[in-house]
Amino acid sequence: MEMQQKTLRRAHISSVGRFLPEKRLTNKELEKMIDTSDEWIVTRTGIRERRILEPGLGNSYMAVRAARDCLERAGVAPEAVDTIIVATVTPDMFFPSTACLVQRDIGAIKAWGFDLSAGCSGFVFALTTAAQFVESGRYDRVLVIGSDVMSSIIDYTDRATCVLFGDAAGAVLIEPCPENDFGIIDFVQRCDGSGEPHLHMKAGGSRKPASMETVKNREHYVYQEGAQVFKVAVTQMADVTVEILRKNNLTGSDVSFLLPHQANLRIIKACADRAGIPMEKVVVNIDRFANTTAATIPLCLYDIVVEDKRVKKGDYLVMSAFGAGYTWGSVLVRWWEDW
Ligand code: ACO
């Protein structure tokens, strides 16, 4: 007998918020710091500037502000939040989790929560995790935050990596969807630890704790073999985007918006092309914010939902990401209400 998967209820994104640090670091300013050019950065990546958080503030400073922005927009009190998931690779500290600090600072007195580490796929993984809690009927309000202070783990003498990243936080609220045909419809997610040698942080973890030597050797920064990561990212991000559409009997022309992780404009274009989604349906803000790791997709969502109010009820949104691990995935959303 065929097993029928029964969805008791669906989860949907009921609100969006963000926090952007005020300080802008432009390509022109980077030209004064390292051997690079605005022309190289724009043509190879699509990035023009990135935001940088004031040193000493930490991830929770941004995560709390994005969370407050999201909850205020929803008209939901912090006391009503059940769960907080913070996707990040740059927590304030190893422990406690950034989710605990957010819980305390926003006053989410009945919430529990945790941090989720999946590099640039962190938001997508956290979103689908939150959706399971809501779909199961266990919780009604899950706050998902993607927040990264990449400037705290970037070596500003490594020109191949430092030009790529910025700081920001984005947040969404996940609640039960009033109708079962809308909301977070499906997802495809993967990880492959054989990516470790090509994208990682060498020291500071339990395998190689911090020492005078690790600091001297600059081992507390993002180590990335850019060209190697690029090759895999292009293929895998496109593959899951195509897979989620096929699995749901959709084509690129059914999609209203592709919200891709913003690592490189060339990766974004290749992914959209493979999925048959024209660039006018692709949300791009890499020029303004660069790669903010777990924050890129909620920042894209903020652009189209809050700022431009372009998303209408019934629109299909596809969110696709690729990051350290390797990790990658695609989420299909059918938007519930006009904004
Ligand atoms: N300015 C000028 N020249 C530079 C710079 C720079 N900032 N950086 C590198 N170059 C030079 C290199 O030294 C090299 O010179 P050479 O040919 O004389 O050796 C040349 O430019 C080409 O270097 P490549 O690394 O081959 O350049 P590429 O076209 O691959 O672009 C980039 C580099 C932008 C990093 C690209 O590889 C990329 O986007 N990779 C994927 C990043 C990604 O998706 N990461 C995953 C998410 S991150 C996360 O999860 C934390």
pLDDT tens figures, 192-221 = 999 999 999 999 999 999 999 999 999 999
Identified catalytic residue from 27, 100, 261, 271: 261
Q: What is the mean pLDDT of residues 36-44?
A: 98
Q: How far is the CA of 50 from the centre of ligand 1 (A)?
A: 17
- Domain 2-176 belongs to what architecture? 3-Layer(aba) Sandwich (3.40)
pLDDT at 212: 98
Asked, colleague to colleague, whether 2-176 and 183-334 share their fold, the answer is yes
Q: What is the mean pLDDT of residues 51-73?
A: 97
d(CA 46, CA 26): 12
**Ligand 1 atom closest to Cα of residue 263:** 44
Q: How far is the CA of 226 from the centre of ligand 1 (A)?
A: 5
Share of the chain above pLDDT 70, in %: 98
**Ligand 1 atom closest to Cα of residue 327:** 50
Write the single-letter amino acid at 33: M
What's the whole-number average pLDDT of the chain? 96
Is-contact 241 281, C-beta < 8 A?
A: no
- Split at pLDDT 50, 70, 90, the class of 33 is very high
291 has catalytic annotation:
yes
Short-list 232, 259, 255, CA closest to 245 = 255
261 has catalytic annotation:
yes
Q: How far is the CA of 46 from the centre of ligand 1 (A)?
A: 12
Peptide bond into 326 cis (omega under 30): yes
Q: Where are the domains of the chain?
A: 2-176, 183-334
Place of tokens 């959209």: 272
- Split at pLDDT 50, 70, 90, the class of 6 is low
Q: What is the pTM of this model?
A: 0.96
pLDDT at 5: 54
For 249-305, the pLDDT digits (tens) are 999 999 999 999 999 999 999 999 999 999 999 999 999 999 999 999 999 999 999
> Which residue's CA is the nearest one to ligand 1's atom 8?
160
**pLDDT at residue 118 tops 50:** yes
pLDDT at 7: 59
198 has catalytic annotation:
no
Q: How far is the CA of 88 from the centre of ligand 1 (A)?
A: 23
Measure the CA dihedral 247/320/325/263, to 10°: 150
Q: Does CATH number 3.10.110.10 belong to domain 183-334?
A: no
**pLDDT at residue 226 tops 80:** yes
Q: What is the mean pLDDT of residues 319-330?
A: 98
pLDDT at 164: 98
Cβ of 83 below 6 Å from ligand 1: no
d(CA 123, CA 53): 20
Short-list 167, 233, 164, CA closest to 195 = 233
- Split at pLDDT 50, 70, 90, the class of 338 is confident
Q: What is the mean pLDDT of residues 46-65?
A: 97
